[in-house]
Structure 1
Amino acid sequence: MRFNNSLRILSTGMGWPSAQPGGLNTYFKHINEALAENHDLQALVSSSEKPVVKEGLQVTNVAKTQLKLSKRRDAFRQHAAWLMDNQDVDIVYSHFAPYSTGVAMEAKQRNIPVVMTFHGPWSEEIKLEGKGLKHWVKTRIAKNMEMKAYRFADAFIVLSETFRDILHQNYQIPLTKIHIVPGAADIVRFQPSTERKAIRERLHITEGTTAVLTLRRLVNRMGLLQLIDAWKEVVREVPDTVLLLGGKGPLKEELEKKIAEYGLESRVRLLGYVPDHELADYYQAADLFVVPSQALEGFGLITVEAMAAGVPVMATPVGGNREILQKFRPELLFAGKSSQDMAAGLIRSLRNQDQWPTAEQCRNHVLENYTWERVSDQVEVIFRSVIDNHLIAYGRNRSPRVQAERKGGHEKDVENSVFGSYR
């Protein structure tokens, strides 16, 4: 359906959360759904299976994730080029650097502006999870991919001040090109439940037990090893507490060993991967949510999801979590990232539950600041500004079919001119 003054948006992501859970994919799904309410939007992803999408949303799976990265990149570029040659596109909206470069190059050949959302330093995330020469080479290749993609963007969206600074300092992106738009929560799906007691019984949470929940990918930068170290101290000081830890990843065995070593089997429950359809129940059953991130936490979608469900959140002062809680209840931030900081903060907080914000206060903070409607409105303003500036600076050939003169050698000219502007 075409709305008055609506935009034609070509949106490229990584995957889709029905097949590949994760913060980037969850954000991509929700922002596309919100934008599609008022605009013509087509989204491209790479997924192991057919994405499960909202009725009316146009999402194309251009490549299976089983293919080599180079094949997936080519698939994005080819499909995007075909779309741009057969219909008008006002703006390209990219979310994952490795898949963005070819699409952005095709857009530049057709004089279409490009906005990229920076979800974090992909190469740094890789770097933190391995060692050795082979891993170093892999990290360098990833950084080169990022640098190449980002040089084609007319503007960037980041979810926090922390990622604005990283994008500026590590990738030499001018601050004038960077716009901060925080993430959001699905406020319909995540809300307090009137059936909380029944939900807790179904999840086997004993009456009288304080349930502390965290949902994280089981990798080093998420701080789960430090949280287990802290929890050993917490249970000594505050009985009748249980830590529910959901997620999957390479740290599973190490976490299991540490839990056994500390004798915490009855005080820590490893939930494994929590399916999407069960997330709301776990939020609604929890008394407290904790985010122990050590690095590269761009926003914290799970933080605002938990708060939308009425659950207070404690977090390390890292990235977007610091920004979310600092303007809500600063005392819910740990003093630092160490296990000692977490233990001290949790013990103090659990002993003073009467001082926690109410479910209504938590939810209201989200309703006032972190809804997808609010996010999509801000993103649209950025789109229109970029499009207007692009038209003033370059003009625009509105034809959906760009002929052979934009191919061949001209592609190299575009790449050289864009790269040269940053050297």
Structure 2
Amino acid sequence: MRILYHHRTRGRHVEGVHIRGIVNALRELGHQVTVMSFPGADPEHEPAPTAQASAGKGRLAGAVAKLPGVLFEFMELAYNVVTLFRMAAAIRRLQPQLIYERYSLFLCATIWLARRHGIPVVLEINDSALVERVRPLRLKRLARRIEGWCLRHCTGLVFISSYFRDQAEATYPQVAPSVVSPNAADLARFDPSRFDREQLREQRGLAGRVVCGHIGVFARWHGVDGFVEAISQRLAEAPQLALVLVGDGRTLPAVRELVASRGLSDRVLLPGRVAHDEIASWIACMDYAVLPDSNQYGSPMKLFEQMAMGVAVVAPDYAPVAEVIDDGRTGWLFPRRQTDACVQRVLDLATQTEERRRVGAAARDYIARERQWRNNAEQLLTLVPAEVTR
């Protein structure tokens, strides 16, 4: 089947991982997939972190993303004109049998064109006008009117969590048929047998330690700063424990300052953001992991990648997380927003070697069985009319 994958994101970091995961899985299933990206964004060739600035790629996307409030949203709305011309040309050239689009607010041109040409179009919902967003939504009423129209007039919907689907179905009547498809992991890339764990730990100053790790953006909704503040006062209770917190973001400078001021640089390692190709090597150093906080609707990518490496996660009990983690079997849940409970579980597990190994092994088995990108691709294809997939 000829599939046209369209997205309006910058195609970097987690967005790029998800796009590549779905596209590659569809190709492995035998489909011909063409990716149409925002000008200047190319998720299939994401530059390394150190090369981003000098490469000059993605400058247009970056400049637009920095526009203030309403002006940014008007630009999002205006992008429908660009999409009409680009998508019309792509349809003429490629003759796609399916259009798969990573949904973006205000973007409706793809669905209008697909309906006009009689092409099935499936939307993947990672964002919505119904949830709290990092960038506050100014034109909320307009965004919801357009979103409701899109969700009703597409062929099918892929929601990354049940929370997203429940919100949409409660707000917009008669939305298209849907599936819930959380994130996934590339089991070949995230394979612990690829790494010499002890050598990596030796190189990174972690030999002889019990390592609890975190990978992700240092943003308020992940709660890393609050977690470090709380656990730094109790690290004496677990002298063998070291923390490895990989990533960057707004709260990283404050975390670095806290670690330095309390003399914990030998116990809390902060390597900053690393390329996605290097993530697995950092997870290989971990005995278990922690996600201090999340949100009501998200499906954290690193949760799946850590589990794929046999590293189970201490995580808050938000519904999308609880859909993935079976408490005590494939991970450990604590009551959301209760940092003390999170810290206590992390400290307790520092001495529970067999528990960490048992749950970590079950976590990898779960990913291998249900949460590889192939599973997501097969699931989304169930939304396509049978006569198209033949």
Report the equivalent of 1:379.
380
Residue identity opposite 1:83 in structure 2: A
Task: Kindly provide the CA deviation profile for residues 294-342 of structure 1, in whole angstroms up to 9, marking residues without a partner as x.
Answer: 3145323211211211212211112432111127726611233321121
Report the equivalent of 1:27.
18
8 Å CA contact 1:160–1:299 kept in 2: the answer is yes
User: Which structure 2 residues correspond to residues 155-234 of structure 1 after superposition, within 5 A?
Assistant: 155-169=156-170, 171-172=171-172, 174=174, 177-193=177-193, 194-202=195-203, 204-234=204-234
Identity %: 20
Report the equivalent of 1:101.
108
Query: Compared with structure 1, are the counterparts of its residues 282 and 83 closer, same or farther at alpha carbon in structure 2 (3 Å cutoff)?
Result: same
Are positions 1:85 and 2:75 aligned together? no
How many residues in Structure 1 have an aligned counterpart in Structure 2? 365
8 Å CA contact 1:16–1:26 kept in 2: the answer is no
Question: 1 CA distance for matches of 2:167 and 2:178?
Answer: 11
Q: Quote how far apart the aligned CAs of 1:276 are.
A: 1.5
Question: 1 CA distance for matches of 2:150 and 2:58?
Answer: 19
Query: Compared with structure 1, are the counterparts of its residues 122 and 228 closer, same or farther at alpha carbon in structure 2 (3 Å cutoff)?
Result: farther
Question: 1 CA distance for matches of 2:207 and 2:58?
Answer: 49
Question: 2 CA distance for matches of 1:207 and 1:63?
Answer: 41
Residue identity opposite 1:377 in structure 2: E
Report the equivalent of 1:249.
249
Residue identity opposite 2:222 in structure 1: M
Report the equivalent of 1:41.
33
Report the equivalent of 2:49.
none
Task: Kindly provide the CA deviation profile for residues 92-111 of structure 1, in whole angstroms up to 9, marking residues without a partner as x.
Answer: 21113147422222112222
Question: 2 CA distance for matches of 1:266 and 1:200?
Answer: 13
Residue identity opposite 2:271 in structure 1: L
Task: Kindly provide the CA deviation profile for residues 156-210 of structure 1, in whole angstroms up to 9, marking residues without a partner as x.
Answer: 11122222223323x42547622112332101010113511112223x1331111
Are positions 1:9 and 2:35 aligned together? no
Secondary structure of 2:138's aligned partner = helix
Which ranges of structure 2 fall in alignment gaps of 5 or more residues? Answer: 47-56, 65-74
Of residues 37-46 and 83-92 in structure 1, the stretch that sits farther from structure 2 once superposed is 83-92
Task: Kindly provide the CA deviation profile for residues 94-135 of structure 1, in whole angstroms up to 9, marking residues without a partner as x.
Answer: 113147422222112222222111113367453xx47xxxx5
Secondary structure of 1:184's aligned partner = coil
Report the equivalent of 1:121.
128
Q: Quote how far apart the aligned CAs of 1:262 are.
A: 5.0
8 Å CA contact 1:8–1:90 kept in 2: the answer is yes
Task: Kindly provide the CA deviation profile for residues 18-43 of structure 1, in whole angstroms up to 9, marking residues without a partner as x.
Answer: xx112x33111111111123112211
Query: Compared with structure 1, are the counterparts of its residues 50 and 331 closer, same or farther at alpha carbon in structure 2 (3 Å cutoff)?
Result: closer
Q: Quote how far apart the aligned CAs of 1:214 are.
A: 0.9
Query: What TM-score, normalized to structure 2?
Result: 0.82
Are positions 1:238 and 2:242 aligned together? no
User: Which structure 2 residues correspond to residues 289-308 of structure 1 after superposition, within 5 A?
Assistant: 289-308=289-308
Which ranges of structure 1 fall in alignment gaps of 5 or more residues? Answer: 1-6, 55-60, 389-423
Residue identity opposite 2:163 in structure 1: T
Question: 1 CA distance for matches of 2:387 and 2:166?
Answer: 21
Query: Compared with structure 1, are the counterparts of its residues 81 and 328 closer, same or farther at alpha carbon in structure 2 (3 Å cutoff)?
Result: farther
Question: 1 CA distance for matches of 2:144 and 2:218?
Answer: 23
Secondary structure of 2:385's aligned partner = helix
8 Å CA contact 2:289–2:311 kept in 1: the answer is yes
Q: Quote how far apart the aligned CAs of 1:360 are.
A: 3.7
8 Å CA contact 1:13–1:99 kept in 2: the answer is no
8 Å CA contact 2:103–2:127 kept in 1: the answer is no
8 Å CA contact 1:63–1:75 kept in 2: the answer is no
Structure number with greater Rg is 1
Question: 1 CA distance for matches of 2:149 and 2:329?
Answer: 40
Question: 2 CA distance for matches of 1:63 and 1:113?
Answer: 32
Question: 2 CA distance for matches of 1:220 and 1:178?
Answer: 31
